[in-house]
Structure formats: structure tokens, C-alpha cells
Amino acid sequence: MSKPIYILNGPNLNRLGTREPEIYGSTTLAEVEASCREAVSGSPIVFRQSNREYEIIEWIHEAIDQGSGIIINPAAFTFTSMAIMDALKMFPGPIIELHISNIHRREPIYHKSYVSPVATAIIAGLGTYGYPVAVRSMLDMVSKSSVGT
Ligand code: CA2
């Protein structure tokens, strides 16, 4: 069995699909998870969401030991968390930073990401469709990376 891709979601994303549909769409996080599982067609993924910074850091540590790649939508922690940045720095495989909205089209407080400098790639502005796109790209990246085996 190959190592799983970790898909980690930050604060408030458990409420996806319930407000601001003009920015984030009407798809729920459960539906996003289903779209990721469909995109990997059987390859293992770990899909999680937390409103707690420490829990996301613990999951990044778990991915360091057990994962092939990390896709992370850190939500508001994108703009605040040096601790998540430091944890991601320790991950030896590919990292995709993912945002549903295009953070660079939004207010200046959404422009400075702590995660971007340690990410392999960034996806933003594709809506929730960005998740299956990220998963397919990650499958391709881990197949070329020694961490994926
Ligand atoms: O566009 C993204 O994916 C974001 O990471 C979402 C964050 C925001 O702070 C980032 O700037 C961009 C906010 C997530 C809020 O969660 C929601 C909850 C319910 C409905 C919609 C969003």
C-alpha cells in the first residue's frame, strides 16, 4: 500500500456551503471530500478539518512520518501561523497550498501567506474544483518523488 496524501483543512471550513456562496460556492466539505476520493480512484487519502492550530500541526507531523504529499487549505491560519509554516518546512515531499477563492483578488490582509514560501505549488480561485485538481496534480508529483513509496 502506498503512503496516503494528506488533505488538511483549517478553521471554519467545516461550515463550507452554508454562507458566502458568492465567494466559496455551495458545495459542502463532505462533498469536497467525496470529489477528492473520486479523483484518486482508490489511492489512499487522509482528509481532515480542524478549527485548532495545534491539531493541524499534529497532522502535519503525522504526514511527515506517514504521508506522501500534503494538500493544505490553512484558511485564516494562512495569514497568521508561523507554527504551521515551520511544521510544513519539515515535510520532505510535495506540498500544495490550496484556496477556494483567489486570495490575491481580495483585501490586502489576505495577500501575505506564511505557507506559500514553503509550498511546492499554489492553487487559488478555482472554487472547490481546486481540490480534485490538486489531488490529481499531487498524484502525479508523488509518483515522481521518492517520498511517495
Ligand atoms: O479561499 C479559501 O479557501 C480560504 O482559505 C478560505 C478562508 C479565508 O480566510 C482565506 O482567505 C481563503 C476562510 C474560510 C471560511 O470558511 C467558510 C465557512 C463557511 C462558508 C464559507 C467559508
Tell the residue nearest (CA) to atom 9 of ligand 1.
Answer: 76
**Nearest residue to 81 via CA among 4, 6, 8:** 8
Atom of ligand 1 nearest to the CA of 17: 20
Give yes or no: 99 in active site. yes
Cα–Cα distances in angstroms (integers) from residue 50 to residues 39, 55, 64, 97, 119, in the given order: 23, 7, 18, 16, 20
Expressed as residue numbers, the domain containing 39 is: 5-146
Q: Average the pLDDT over 23-47 and give the result.
A: 95
Question: How many whole angstroms from 143 Cα to the centroid of ligand 1?
Answer: 30
Domain CATH code at residue 128: 3.40.50.9100
Q: What is the pTM of this model?
A: 0.95
Give yes or no: 111 in active site. no
Q: Average the pLDDT over 23-34 and give the result.
A: 95
Q: What is the pLDDT of residue 145?
A: 79
Number of domains in the chain: 1
On whether the CB atoms of residues 50 and 81 are closer than 8 A, the answer is: no
| Average pLDDT over the chain, rounded to an integer | 95
Question: Which of 29-33, 40-44, 54-58, 62-66 bottoms out in mean pLDDT, i.e. has the lowest?
Answer: 40-44
> 14: which 3 cell numbers?
467545516
